[in-house]
Chains A and B, each alone.
Chain A
Amino acid sequence: MNPPSETGSPSPNPAESPRYRTAGYDSDAQLLEVSLGPQHPSTHGVFRMNVALDGEDVVKLKPVFGYLHRNHEQIAEQVSYLGSMPYTDRLDYFCSLSNNWAYAAAVEKLAGIDVPERAEYIRVITSELTRLVNHTSFLGFMLSDMGAWGTVLMYAFREREKILDLFESLTGSRMMGNYMRFGGCRCDLPPGWLEQARKVVDGYPAFLDEMESLIATNEIVISRTQRIGRLPADKAVNGSMTGPCLRASGVNYDIRKVDRYGIYDRFEFRVPLGDHGDCYDRLMIRFLEMRETLKILRPALRDIPEGPVMDPKARQRNLRPPEGEAYARVEAPKGELGFYLISDASDKPYRYRVRPPSLINLTLLEDLCLGEKIADVMVILGTIDIVLGEVDR
């Protein structure tokens, strides 16, 4: 029943391998090795964890990814600069517009293209809406990982649908936006879009209140998230974790504040920080971030100026940036999303590299899960908030 051990020799009991003995576990203990995934209801796609269990406690956890590998980076080196824009949608399919922005920013840096002001506003609005979409569906998925039978998920999807309708009328597609272009955005806002967006933003606090009273004060949620999967700040920094998970550990690091890219310096918003770094903090930070996001969206929707949305000098097709390299990063909903490009002055990038927040946050999974119960593994995985499209690329 036991799979062969890592050295290849079939070992009847994994407890006999030296690794467990040094870990301080009783070698007589009967460990149960379970392979969670790749087909498992709550691994968010095709992700696999080889878990060794002592009763219900996790003794060892080995994440195995790559089941969804699609050669994203290699493909991007074979198609034109414009051609890999739609592929970036498919990295983290909840946040396609943030991904678009990060890639567009990298190419703009490489080719030295300016972005008109209206386009900057649209970028901020769409990527903050993306953050709402991501965090809202995060709450739903996380609660269904906890076994809440989809009620929260359905409420979350009900609200998400409103934003996806906005995206559809703007970009033509609900999730695969493919909207940003080098030097601006593909098309201007359709008539009436801003009013519709304002209505959605104004309706959001009521939904957040509903969700908070449903989730944040629920005894079972509290008992299942507080003091579970604690991540100290130094460990989080060492593991180069970014995004809400890092801030839940109390590290003040938000690229919107650090880099002040785009026009984020024009908006007043705060960065919520947690003190415990446990699952509950990671959950609550998302609530608070959504409220801060609304604080950005309201003035942005009010102050958006008229004007062109594309830099007329920027060319999309046959773009041949000068030789050089560029790295651009944005604060995607899940963390720091960066694109690193090297140009050899041809119409294809010589090197194209993504720094995906999901993958790098996921590398800390084992540290978070050791010693917890198997049921907590799902909750911890849920709070890290991964999307397999981005983990495996």
Chain B
Amino acid sequence: MTALSGTIPVFASLEGAPIALKAWILGMLENMGMPEPFLMLVSIQLSILGFFSVFLLLFVLASWFERKILARIQNRRGPNRVGPAGLLQPIADGIKMLTKEDIVPVAADKVLHACAPVLIILPAFLAMAILPYGKNMTPVELEVGILLFFAVSTATELAVFMAGWASLNKFSMLGAMRAVAQILSYELPLILAATSVVMITGSLSLTAMVEAQGGYLLGILPNWHVFTPWGFAAFAMFFISALAESNRTPFDLPEGESELVAGHMTEYSGFKYALFFISEYLGLYVVCGFAVALFLGGWQAPLPFLTFIPSWIWFFAKILCLVFVAMWIRGTFPRVRVDHLMNFAWKFVIPLGVMVLVSAAVWHLAGRGPLGWILSLPPLLIPYWLMARAYGRNYDAGGRVYRFAE
């Protein structure tokens, strides 16, 4: 806390507000003479309730936010009928989803068909447990947090494949196969990018990683990993792979509607479909949250004099910024093709990921000064240039010359 925070008591008290609230409830229960195990249970429940409600609210906001942003990008107005500025639109959508008929294909495997939407939403919630939302605000303090994240996020594809298989629909099956291939190939760059942070921080705990990014260079530039050569490359890789992980455009091949109708979700309707939808947004939040924690300084304020704003506000603000970028990308790019996607992952991102590791090692050894900059850039730039050239040779990207007949 800086001196400023003393002058603005509102912010100072907000900083610890969620924790204080929890402590107050627990204290009250303790005064009432509740036994110790029960208190522990309540403590856990309160944390769970906290981030469940926050993230479901965020999901509701996100679907409104996304529609508004896409609409504005496309010169439309977006939802504006339900509630002020269409803010209640997600609720109306939810009611519609809940009241729709739940159709299960006759030939479908009914058990798996019903399990898949439940399974797909679990990993997102599990991964949320280890995100450091603010100072002292990690719901589950895990020494190996990053490992849990990767373990859990891979479980998504099981659910996707279950959905595709159980629907007994060719489009679903194709979509599910694509999803598995895609998630598996982008898991690797995701891990490689995160490993570089692990190398520098020397810890698998997300809290430690965020704390390592505290402080400011020359008093202004925050010490975030994204502002280092290897960190920037790793962040770009992480973000691209994260978009692919969460099936966002331009990597939304599994549900690519112009080819596969809706991919693995083709045969789902009503609330089951809504669950897929929710999991997509929650997944986006989770991967963006990890990107923030790993590379964008987590809950650290971007400028020293802004530290009076509570840390958890920073964290959510950064997540929303990344989500906005994801939506902006969705509003701009067409979908890539499945073989291009694989080529991009295996022939471009993963080799670059290995070079990021080299670069991070150089940075670690050469120190964080100018020498580190000079030495850690070449292992990134040279392979990037070489691969980009090899990749671009297949296309006349510079534009073709056309003949004209009079």
Contact = CB atoms under 8 A, between A and B. Distances in A.
A365 interface: no
Interface string A148-188: 11110011001000000000000000000000000000000
7 contacts: A145-B258, A148-B334, A151-B70, A252-B405, A272-B404, A280-B400, A375-B338
Nearest to B330: A149
Contacts of B337: 223-224, 373, 375-376
Contacts of B402: 272-275, 284-285, 288
A263 interface: no
Contacts of B330: 149
B261 A41 contact: yes
Contacts of B333: 148, 218, 220
Interface in B307-348: 330-340
Interface stretch (B1-9, B146-154, B391-399): B391-399
Interface stretch (B73-81, B364-372, B376-384): B73-81
Nearest to A247: B405
Interface of A: 1, 32-34, 40-42, 53, 56, 143-151, 154-155, 158, 214, 216-224, 226-227, 250, 252, 254, 257, 270-276, 280-281, 284-285, 288, 373-378
Given A216-B399, A220-B334, A275-B400, A147 B258 contact: yes
Contacts, number: 130
A34 B404 contact: no
A40 B73 contact: no
Contacts of B171: 34
A147 B341 CA distance: 14
Interface stretch (B128-136, B206-214, B249-257, B283-291): B249-257
Given A42-B258, A155-B74, A373 B400 contact: no
| Residue in A1, A223, A252, A271 whose Cβ sees the most chain B Cβ within 10 Å | A223
Contacts of B336: 220, 223-224
Nearest to B404: A270
Contact of B70 (A149, A271, A378): A149
Nearest to A276: B400
B403 interface: yes
A373 B339 contact: yes
B257 A224 contact: no
B29 to A, nearest CB: 49
A282 to B, nearest CB: 12
B110 interface: no
Contacts of B36: none
B334 A373 contact: no
| Residue in A149, A214, A219, A222 whose Cβ sees the most chain B Cβ within 10 Å | A149
Nearest to B403: A273
B331 A375 contact: no
B76 A154 contact: yes
A147 B261 CA distance: 11
List 7 A-B pairs, minimum CB-CB distance, nearest first.
A147-B335, A154-B74, A146-B334, A42-B258, A270-B404, A148-B334, A252-B405
A150 B338 contact: no
A281 B397 contact: no
A270 B174 CA distance: 45
B406 interface: yes
A149 B258 CA distance: 10
Nearest to B260: A374
Contact of A147 (B70, B75, B174, B256): B256
A147 B405 contact: no
Interface string B349-361: 0000000000000
B75 A158 contact: yes
Contacts of B396: 222, 226
A56 B338 contact: yes
B77 to A, nearest CB: 12
B170 interface: yes
Interface in B119-162: none
